[in-house]
Amino acid sequence: MQTIYRTKAIRLDSGERFPLLVECDTELPVLDVVDFSLAYHRTKSINSSKSRVGAIGLFLEWAEACLIDIDERFGSGDLFSQAEIESLATALGQSKRKKVTVGDQVLPGNVLGDTQANRVDWVTEYIRWRATGVAQAMKIDDPRVPAINQRFQQIEKQLKALKRKGAGKVRLGLTEEQQVRLFEIVRPDSPENPFYAETRYRNFMLFLLFYELGIRRAESLVLKANHVNLHHNPRITIEPNPGDPSDPRKDQPLVKTAGRTLPISSLLAQTIHTYITKHRSQVPGAKKSPFIVLESRNGQPLSLASVYDMFVVIRERFPNDFPSDFSTHVLRHTWNDRFMANAKAQGLNDALARQVNNYIMGWTKTSQQSVKYSQREIERQASQLLMGMQQQLSEFAL
> 124 with 185, same domain?
no
> 30 with 72, same domain?
yes
> 304 with 361, same domain?
yes
> 129 with 210, same domain?
no
Q: Find the angle CA(260)-CA(263)-CA(267) to the nearest 5 degrees.
A: 140
Q: Which of 107, 126, 161 is the last residue of a domain?
A: 161
Residue 248's domain spans which residues? Answer: 176-396
> 88 with 10, same domain?
yes
- Average pLDDT of the chain, as a whole number: 88
Residue 169 lies in a domain: no
Q: For residue range 171-208, what is the model confidence (pLDDT) as tens digits?
A: 778 999 999 999 999 999 999 999 999 999 999 999 99
Residue 168 lies in a domain: no
pLDDT of residue 168: 54
> 181 with 155, same domain?
no
Q: Please, are residues 358 and 364 in contact by the beta-carbon 8 Å criterion?
A: yes
The domain spanning residue 276 has which CATH number? 1.10.443.10
pLDDT of residue 187: 97
Q: For residue range 38-49, what is the model confidence (pLDDT) as tens digits?
A: 988 877 778 888
Is the pLDDT reported for residue 126 higher than 90? yes
CA distance 85 to 250: 35
> 213 with 360, same domain?
yes
Q: Please, are residues 127 and 56 in contact by the beta-carbon 8 Å criterion?
A: no
> 138 with 204, same domain?
no
Is the pLDDT reported for residue 386 higher than 80? yes
> 128 with 228, same domain?
no
pLDDT of residue 186: 97
Residue 170 lies in a domain: no
> 196 with 322, same domain?
yes
pLDDT of residue 319: 94
User: Binning pLDDT at 50, 70 and 90, where does residue 369 land?
Assistant: very low
Residue 166 lies in a domain: no
Q: Which of 105, 133, 161 is the last residue of a domain?
A: 161
Percentage of the chain lying above the pLDDT 90 cut: 55
pLDDT-wise least confident of 62-71, 249-258, 330-339: 249-258
Q: For residue range 294-312, what is the model confidence (pLDDT) as tens digits?
A: 999 999 999 999 999 999 9
Residue 203 lies in a domain: yes
> 154 with 199, same domain?
no
Residue 171 lies in a domain: no
Strongest mean pLDDT among 3-12, 170-179, 281-290, 345-354 = 281-290
* pTM exceeds 0.95 for this model: no
Q: For residue range 71-80, what is the model confidence (pLDDT) as tens digits?
A: 998 888 788 9
> 130 with 26, same domain?
yes
Residue 90 lies in a domain: yes
Number of domains in the chain: 2
pLDDT of residue 370: 40
Q: Which of 126, 161, 196 is the last residue of a domain?
A: 161
pLDDT of residue 60: 96
Residue 95 lies in a domain: yes
CA distance 395 to 398: 9
